[in-house]
């Protein structure tokens, strides 16, 4: 997804103009900086762009950070308790009450205090389009070219100065590539395939941010898990806590340190999925494969022939399809995380307050506690999807 500032710059260039001139003389707007355009530009500008270009307005909105509320951000307005709400609702490595709860001022998830431009040298060599999500420390690699993202200054293709003259050629760990593929899947499809079952993109973004917070927790809070966490850092080859002596929000750190933390998060996920890392958080089960159940005839799934595994009968497929809703509802009655995911999924089909009310009544009839669903999800505005 290209950023709005990049898109406007390319449109202006096609007319032999600069983007600020296009804004003023073509669209009747005051001069707006790149951060203003990409964060939360005027609504009338987005409406006019959709009208002039013929693009769906939702697609234009998605070129801005504001278009990713409430999936990626709860809100773009810093609020008291925002850190606890976003980062401490889930837990992976540590039990929920093991971590210190911080309250950084004016904090917003993933948004750095100072703008940073990140890109893939190979991508920018072939196209000047700048991706919106590369402005955020969400991913550390380019999935197309299999290389690390690097910081730069300037506006491609006219001017670009890489922060590191010699491009970073360190090989990418497979665990980091996998984690970045999952993040990209969240961005492009709205859900992520995890070992246990798919989760909503909003869950993935918060799960990743939670793990980054746990990896910067003071070592005195780990207790008997300290050695396990040390193994994570040894596994990815970086110093414990990425060399931090005191806690700082991930968003305020230098990109070099953020990369180390992202690699550590990827390594932790890999070790949890392999079953070689103790994880006591309430959400850690999402990263563990589903246990292999015994089949009705007493044999394990691995003993069946490859043909039987790869080509289930039509009756078996139909039974899986009809059983899935019942299994999901049963799990939602006892698992708050499943209940929230089911509610989020169903709610995106609602187009009015009446339909939302009907959805809540359905949950009550199915005996799924609405208390399991985060209040912020229940009360937030209706999604503007079509």
Q: Do 53 and 102 fall within a single domain? A: no
Query: What 3-state class would DSSP assign to 122?
Result: helix
Query: How is the chain split among helix, strand and coil, in percent rounded to 5?
Result: 50, 5, 40
- CA 21 from chain centre, in angstroms, equals 35
Q: Do 354 and 260 fall within a single domain? A: no
User: Do 60 and 23 contact (CB within 8 A), yes or no?
Assistant: no
Q: Do 19 and 161 fall within a single domain? A: no
Tokens of 80: 């008291």
In this prediction, residue 297 carries a pLDDT of: 47
340 or 84: which leads in pLDDT: 84
User: Do 8 and 27 contact (CB within 8 A), yes or no?
Assistant: no
User: Do 207 and 179 contact (CB within 8 A), yes or no?
Assistant: no
- Interval 57-89: pLDDT, tens: 899 999 999 999 999 999 999 998 999 999 999
Query: What 3-state class would DSSP assign to 119?
Result: strand
Task: Decide if 75 is inside a domain.
Answer: no
Segments forming the whole domain that contains residue 370: 312-379
Q: Do 100 and 48 fall within a single domain? A: no
* CA pair distance 377, 37, nearest whole angstrom: 27
Q: Do 64 and 90 fall within a single domain? A: no
Q: Do 92 and 227 fall within a single domain? A: yes
Task: Decide if 359 is inside a domain.
Answer: yes
- Most confidently modeled of 30-34, 220-224, 281-285, 335-339? 281-285
- pTM here is 0.75
Q: Do 50 and 119 fall within a single domain? A: no
| DSSP strand pairing (117-119 vs 150-155) | antiparallel
Q: Do 202 and 272 fall within a single domain? A: yes
* CA pair distance 110, 72, nearest whole angstrom: 9
Q: Do 32 and 170 fall within a single domain? A: no
Concatenated DSSP letters of 160-224? EEESSSS---PPPPHHHHHHHHHHHHHHHHSEEE-SSSEEEHHHHHHHHHHHHHHTTS-GGGTGG
- Interval 353-365: pLDDT, tens: 777 777 787 877 7
In this prediction, residue 351 carries a pLDDT of: 63
Q: Do 211 and 125 fall within a single domain? A: yes
Q: What percent of the chain has pLDDT over 90?
A: 47
Total number of domains constituting the chain: 3
118 or 362: which leads in pLDDT: 118
Other Cβ atoms less than 10 A from the Cβ of 322: the count is: 9
Task: Decide if 247 is inside a domain.
Answer: yes
- Does the pLDDT of residue 316 top 60, yes or no? no
Give residue 257's pLDDT band: very low, low, confident or very high (50, 70, 90): very high
Q: Where are the beta strands (DSSP E) in the chain?
A: 117-119, 141-142, 147-148, 150-155, 159-162, 191-193, 198-200
Task: Decide if 293 is inside a domain.
Answer: no
Query: What 3-state class would DSSP assign to 42?
Result: coil
Crossing angle (nearest 10°) for helices 226-236 and 255-274: 120
- Name the residue among 106, 99, 55, 102 with its Cα closest to residue 79: 106
Cα within 13 Å of Cα(72), Cβ side: 23
Q: What are phi and psi of 165, to 5 degrees?
A: -55, -45
* CA pair distance 233, 246, nearest whole angstrom: 17
- Does the pLDDT of residue 141 top 80, yes or no? yes
């Amino acid at each position: 997804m290209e950023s709005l500032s990049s898109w406007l710059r390319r449109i202006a260039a096609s007319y032999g103009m600069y983007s600020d001139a296009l804004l003023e003389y073509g669209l009747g707007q005051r001069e707006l900086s790149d951060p203003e355009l990409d964060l939360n530009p005027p609504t009338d500008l987005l409406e006019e762009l959709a009208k002039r270009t013929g693009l769906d307005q939702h697609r234009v909105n998605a070129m801005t950070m504001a278009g990713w509320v409430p999936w990626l951000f709860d809100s773009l307005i810093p609020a008291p308790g925002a850190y606890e709400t976003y980062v401490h609702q889930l837990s992976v490595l540590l039990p929920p009450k093991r971590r210190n709860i911080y309250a950084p001022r004016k904090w917003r998830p993933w948004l750095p205090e100072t703008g940073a431009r990140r890109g893939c040298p190979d991508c920018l060599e072939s196209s000047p389009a700048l991706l919106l999500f590369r402005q955020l420390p969400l991913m550390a690699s380019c999935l197309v070219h299999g290389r690390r993202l690097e910081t730069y200054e300037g506006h491609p293709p006219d001017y670009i100065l890489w922060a590191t003259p010699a491009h970073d050629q360190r090989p990418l760990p497979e665990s980091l590539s996998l984690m970045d593929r999952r993040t990209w899947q969240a961005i492009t499809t709205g859900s992520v395939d995890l070992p246990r079952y798919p989760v909503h993109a909003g869950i993935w973004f918060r799960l990743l941010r939670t793990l980054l917070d746990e990896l910067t927790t003071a070592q005195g809070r780990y207790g008997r898990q300290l050695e396990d966490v040390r193994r994570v850092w040894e596994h990815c080859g970086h110093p414990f806590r990425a060399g931090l002596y005191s806690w700082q929000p991930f968003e305020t750190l230098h990109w070099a340190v953020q990369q180390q933390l992202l690699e550590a998060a990827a390594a932790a996920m890999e070790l949890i999925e392999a079953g070689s890392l103790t994880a006591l958080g309430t959400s850690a089960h999402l990263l563990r494969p589903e246990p292999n159940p015994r089949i009705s005839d007493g044999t394990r799934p691995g003993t069946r022939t490859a043909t039987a595994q790869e080509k289930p009968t039509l009756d078996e497929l139909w039974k899986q399809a009809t059983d899935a809703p019942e299994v999901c509802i049963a799990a939602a009655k006892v698992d708050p995380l499943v209940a929230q995911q089911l509610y989020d999924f169903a709610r995106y089909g609602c187009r009015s307050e009446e339909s939302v009310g009907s959805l809540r009544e359905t949950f009550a009839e199915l005996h799924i506690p609405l208390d399991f669903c985060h209040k912020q999800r229940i009360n937030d505005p209706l999604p503007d999807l079509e």
